[in-house]
Structures are given as C-alpha cells and as structure tokens.
Amino acid sequence: MNSLKAQLTQKIDHLKEGRALIYHHAEGDSNRSYLITSAENLHDETLENVINHCCNLSLLVSDVFLEKCGHHLFSTQSEVALKCDFSVDGLKSLISSLSASEVQSGPDCMLMRVKDSASILHDETAEARILEFMSNIDAADGVLLYGLLLDEHGEHLEKAAGPQKMDLLSISTDEIKLSRFFNPMLLEFTGVTEVELQQGKFLLHSYYSALDRRYHWAFVQDDGEVDKLPLVRLESECLTGHVFGSLLCDCGDQLSQGLEQVNAYGKGALVYLRQEGRGIGLKAKLEAYYLQQVHNLDTVDANIAVGMPEDARDYVIGAQILNHLGFDSLKLMTNNPAKIKGLNRYGIKIDERVSHIIPPSNLNRKYLETKKTRMGHRI
C-alpha cells in the first residue's frame, strides 16, 4: 500500500474506533491544538479525557448531515445550543434524535457548530479541516466531538501515565490536505467505456473531482500482467495544442505520442487532467501568448506578467485517479521533474522516469528551450 495512505488510514481508523486525535491547526500566525473524536463511536474513557483537557467543547456537523437527519432548521445556522446530558449515552441519544431536538440555553447545553459543505475545501478554519478529515470515514457525514486543548500542544496528554494516559495520535493541517488524494468524497468514478483512437483501443475511465468541479479522464491499457509496472503519462489539457493543432507548443504531439507509448507498452494509463495552460486557465494563457508575441517574453515571464505563477498545477487529482486505478508504483512518462515531485508528495512511488522527447520545430524551439533552461525539464 502507498505509505502515506497507510499512515493516514491508521489515523482514520483511530477515529472510527472512538479514540481521539490531537489536531494541530495552523491558520495564518495562529497555531492551536484540538482534541477530536467521533461522537457516534465515543467511549467513556475518551469522553472523560476530552472533558478534562479541553475547553469550548462542541459538536461539529455539516449542513448536509443535518438535512439528511431531517433537521433543516439547524442546517441554516452556524451554531446552536442543544440540551444534552454530558455522558456517552447522553451524547449518542442527542445525535440519534437531532430531528426532535430543540434549541436551549443554560449549563446543561452542548454547542453544535454547523459548517457549509459546499465551502469546506476552501474554508481555512479548524472546523473545516476537521470535518474534511472526518469525510474519509465510511458513512462520511457524521458528528465529531472536539474541544480546544488547554495544554496548547497536547504535550501533557502525550506524556501522561496511569488513568490519564490516552491512546493518542496527532495530525496536522498539511496531512489532512494530503489525505485528499484518497478521500472517497472528493473523486467520483462516473463510468468506463471502450474507445478506439488513432493510437489504439483503450478503456476510457471518467471521473468527477469535487476539488475543481471538472471531469477528468484516464485512457487505460491492461494486458493482464500482474507484476508489470504500469506506464503512466499525466497530460495537462491544452485546447490550442490538443484540439486546434497549435504549432507554438509540443502538446499535440506529446498527447499523441503518449497514447501510442501506453498502447505499445500494454499496461498503464494516460491521465488527462483539465489543467489548461499549466493550471492558469485559457484566458490567462491567451494573454500570456500575446505578451510572448508582442514583447518577446518567454512562457515563464509571460505567465508572471499576467499575474500568474509559471506553473500553477497541483497533481492531487492525478494522484486521486492513480489511487483509484491501484497504481501505487509506476513508470512515469515525463520530462518534468515537478510531476515526479508532485506525485511523490502523495506517496506515489516513481520507479522509473521515461523520457518523452518531441523534436523541436522553428515555431516551438524557444518554448522548448524555456522548459529546459528555466523549468528544469530534461529535454
């Protein structure tokens, strides 16, 4: 198994079993630590430690969960106080009967915070990240119990012995974001069909990603050789090169050659990612084209001049698709070291880099030279 996936799955299982995680949240200049646990799988010992070591104890749910359990009123509020018996049975009773709960006030109440599911991925609060990690758990829409640690870093808990000792693991904001590559809520497999292309016959797998709200595809070959490493090409969308045959780049030839090599090899995939213009989008890409033509800028300086990074791509969606295909180790067809680094970040092992060289023409020679000298491409 992917080593990063195994490490994070251990922490997901920790929550499934009703145990607690220390979550270290970094937001701007603020660093806070929380204890989080699944309210539905809660144990007496875990609840006791959460109560003893935390303040601002709250329940955390998504608006979607509340709508599913029939309480549409609460789903439109950011927080609400509910009468609650502060015991495992009391909390579980509250959760199971949320649709009949009423807003209360006073010392015997539990604050329930509600997050908007549609904005969770772009929300930088601790609550959004906690709910995002929760969505890795089966039956993803659930209820979390969490509180702000009185001991900021949780050092007292981690060193405690005897009855105060907890079976603890910790997690960071960066780890939660890395878990996106295998989060079942973020990538939807929308179907597979056989397609015949000029380069051969492929199984076309279709996916919808909640991260960018786009469809992405994988053109897959499988000759049935179990021990054979798959050959993979991550191809970023280029409308001008792939569809209209632009001679200013090598993208059209790279797509065609990539499909040919995967087909000839017999096992692997060309993963087609909707990351137009190295992730800056078609509008900005065409503005950068203009600066290249009129002011003789190269592709790097032109991207920066229109207010964009030289390369805005993130390979999390590619990693999601490779995870779905079961490709933990592979041969990667690329000249771009950033792709290798981008996949390694998500625990995907690149056993071999396969060169993907397209001979230059008079029109794209400067473009290819910029890739080599300024972006480190091995061409």
Local mean pLDDT, 10-residue blocks, the chain (379 residues): 89 89 84 89 88 89 80 69 84 74 65 87 90 77 86 56 60 94 92 96 97 95 94 94 87 94 97 88 83 82 80 89 96 92 94 86 68 67
Q: If you compute the radius of gyration of the chain from its CA atoms, what whole number of angstroms results?
A: 25
Do residues 74 and 98 make contact, with C-beta atoms less than 8 angstroms apart? yes
Q: Which two tokens mark 339?
A: 């792709």
In the prediction, which pLDDT does 298 show? 79
Catalytic, out of 311, 314, 353, 378: 311
Based on the residue annotation, tell me whether 180 is a catalytic residue of this protein.
no
Q: Which CATH class is domain 187-275+313-375?
A: alpha beta
Do residues 84 and 94 make contact, with C-beta atoms less than 8 angstroms apart? yes
Catalytic, out of 129, 151, 313, 374: 313
* Helix locations, 54-87, DSSP H: 63-68, 72-75
Backbone angles phi, psi at 244, to 5 degrees: -100, 0
Please state, in angstroms and as integers, the Cα–Cα distance from residue 210 to each residue in 125, 207, 216, following that order. 19, 10, 11
Instruction: Say how many CA atoms lie within 13 Å of 278 toward its Cβ.
Output: 19
Backbone angles phi, psi at 25, to 5 degrees: -105, 125
Fold match between domain 3-181 and domain 187-275+313-375:
no
Report which of 314, 227, 328 is spatially closest to residue 6, judged by C-alpha positions: 328
In the prediction, which pLDDT does 281 show? 83
Task: Please determine, looking at this structure, whether the domain spanning 3-181 carries the CATH number 3.20.20.70.
Answer: no
Report which of 355, 370, 273 is spatially closest to residue 312, judged by C-alpha positions: 273
In the prediction, which pLDDT does 99 show? 57
Based on the residue annotation, tell me whether 311 is a catalytic residue of this protein.
yes
Q: Which two tokens mark 229?
A: 């490493």
Where exactly are the structural domains of the chain?
Answer: 3-181, 187-275+313-375
Output DSSP code: residue 326: T
For the chain, what's the residue count? Answer: 379
